[in-house]
Amino acid sequence: MPTHDGPDTLVYGPYDQRTLDRQYSPSSRVDDIGVFLDEYAARSARTRSALAVRAGVPYGTEPCETLDFFPAARPDAPLLVFVHGGYWQELSKDESSFPARRTVPAGAAFAALDYGLAPAYRLEEIVAQVRRGLDWLVAHAAELGVDERRIVLSGSSAGAHLVLMALLDDWRPAGRHPADAFAGAVLLSGVYDLEPLRLTYVNEPLGLTEETARLMSPLHRLPERLPPLVVARGGAETDEFRRQHDDLVAAVTGRSPEVRELVVSHRNHFDITFDLDDPATALGGAVHRRLGLTAA
């Protein structure tokens, strides 16, 4: 955390320490974050009970490098991958099954990807783990009954950051450029420039320096080519999360063949994910269309 002379000293832009901390605390915009976390767990448990699932499939050698895979009913199906949020410090695949609820019956496969959490793992290691998981899915698409040309990535909050890091051109999933390996990506309420976040309480378990924060900021490292993107956020976000969203939309325009921006006015940072699999919503409809499913 930075040192400062007094409570009103500006530490980033127009923000003093207390205000900047609040800007990067999405829970400050809801009455009780626990309600949403409990709902993630409950919906995910019901989904795993209702659908066939291969739980805990290893994609790497670390115990945390696993995924839950929900197969489609037919072969050569599209695949929706979900990377959870939690500021790289909380949650897991176990609370991330719920978007399979409508996605799989509609004809797609679904994978909830797990990764190690800070402070046990550095952010650089977490990024590498998610990339390994995605590489594993691309390489094993055929045996999973997945059409490798129709793999769509999605992530919420920190998960959106990790998905965008997986679209940079400094690695090659199954030997291919990320823009060719993935049919699209859905980024929900993400943080893409980590410099302001480095100056907040969030960095205490992450330990980002100025150098590593920039290295881990995909906004500053975007490739010339990106796959089609949906960039969405809730209406009830802090000003900094709105700015992060706006800056990303401006930066990716021209790099992607299609950028669909959505601001879902009645959703917040935490419940926008509940629209991900619902084709009757603007977000869910965009996801289903990108997967090649029939959208309401």
What is the count of structural domains for the chain? 1
In-domain check, residue 194: yes
In-domain check, residue 48: yes
pLDDT of residue 6: 52
What are the beta bridge partners of residue 58? Answer: 66
C-alpha span between 12 and 9 (Å, rounded): 9
Which pTM value belongs to this model? 0.96
In-domain check, residue 2: no
Q: What is the pLDDT of residues 54-63, one digit of tens each?
A: 999 999 999 9
CA-to-CA separations, 248 to 22, 133, 143, 232, in angstroms, rounded:
21, 24, 35, 11
In-domain check, residue 81: yes
Q: What is the pLDDT of residues 194-231, one digit of tens each?
A: 999 999 999 999 999 999 999 999 999 999 999 999 99
Q: What is the pLDDT of residues 132-190, one digit of tens each?
A: 999 999 999 999 999 999 999 999 999 999 999 999 999 999 999 999 999 999 999 99
Q: Residue 171: which domain range? A: 23-291
In-domain check, residue 14: no
**Rounded mean pLDDT of the chain?**
95
With a cut of 80, say whether residue 256 has pLDDT above it: yes
Encoded amino acid at 209, one letter: T
Q: Looking at residue 244, which CATH number applies to its domain?
A: 3.40.50.1820
CA-to-CA separations, 234 to 49, 153, 164, 222, in angstroms, rounded:
29, 19, 19, 24
Find where tokens 């949403």 sit: 36
In-domain check, residue 112: yes
C-alpha span between 281 and 296 (Å, rounded): 8
Encoded amino acid at 224, one letter: E
